[in-house]
Amino acid sequence: MESEISIAVVCLLGSFATFFSGFGLGTILLPVFSLYFPIELAILATALVHFANNIFKLSLMAKHVDLNLFKRFGIAALIGAIVGASVLNLVGHAGNMYASPIWEGKSVTYVSFFVGLLMLFFVVFEWKSIRFPFSQSPYFLPLGGLLSGFFGGFSGHQGALRSAFLSKIQLDKQLFVATSALISLLIDLSRISIYSSSNSLGQLNVRYLIIGGLSAFAGSLLGKRYLNKVSYRFIQWMVGIFLTLMGLLILSGGI
């Protein structure tokens, strides 16, 4: 019973918080599932709940999707994810940069180090209200999509970088949430197709997946209910806080 409760609480609160930020549910949920599944199955289980929640979130927000933004950012992100995953298959991990002094000596790779620094770099721009000098350029969104997608395919951190880029162009908050969900949904679909090819779905505890999915749906419903009551500036702050936490965890070896 304790396992079901912990999964339900994490999925509910994680889905509610990440409804605004556009990323983070997978990062929060993976350590919980890894307590009950081998890591390969925990990654698959996390992806399945994340995918189901994105479908549900998109059903709530579909009318707010900006197809023009998706074409300019989302397609580039999907291309970047394919390139990133291909590069990872070719070169493998780039090696370890240092051992974490905090998380029992866990190694931090060069890739993780630079991703963590990039996230903290975005935080400075977020909280100082600094705009990128090229944020109005027609190349800004495709470049952001390629960069976030590449790191998503290579290291799994595409959601944070996607939100960091999108939060700099002053989108309508409904459009931000809906379009992020669509992009994330398609990337989830590609991830699951790869994960499930090397893992048996029959090994998963279906009850845990149902509990996680339903709890995430409830969190999304709460997020939609309160979306109209928050400002876009609040969403920017949410992105900044999540980026700071994730950046520090990555640099310290916690993720």
Select from 54, 79, 58, 55 the least CA-distant residue to 67: 58
* Cα 214 to the center of its chain, rounded Å: 19
Which residue did the predictor score with more confidence, 52 or 189?
52
In this prediction, residue 157 carries a pLDDT of 62
The pLDDT tens digits for 88-102 are 656 555 567 777 777
* pLDDT at 214 (0 to 100): 93
Segment 232-254 shows an average pLDDT of 76
Residue 108 has phi, psi (to 5 degrees) of -115, 120
- How do the domains of the chain map onto residue ranges? 2-252
- Mean pLDDT (whole number) for 76-93: 73
User: Who's near 56: CB < 8 A, 6+ residues apart?
Assistant: 216, 217, 220
Going by C-alpha positions, the residue among 131, 184, 142 that lies closest to residue 160 is 184
State the average pLDDT over residues 159-182.
80
pLDDT tens digit sequence for 142-160: 888 888 878 766 666 667 7
Mean pLDDT of 104-132: 70
Task: Identify the residue whose tokens are 């952001």.
Answer: 144
Question: pLDDT exceeding 90 applies to what percent of the chain?
Answer: 7
Phi, psi of 209 (to 5 degrees): -65, -40
Question: DSSP class of residue 131?
Answer: P
Residue 83 has a pLDDT of 81
Check: pTM over 0.85? Answer yes or no.
Answer: no
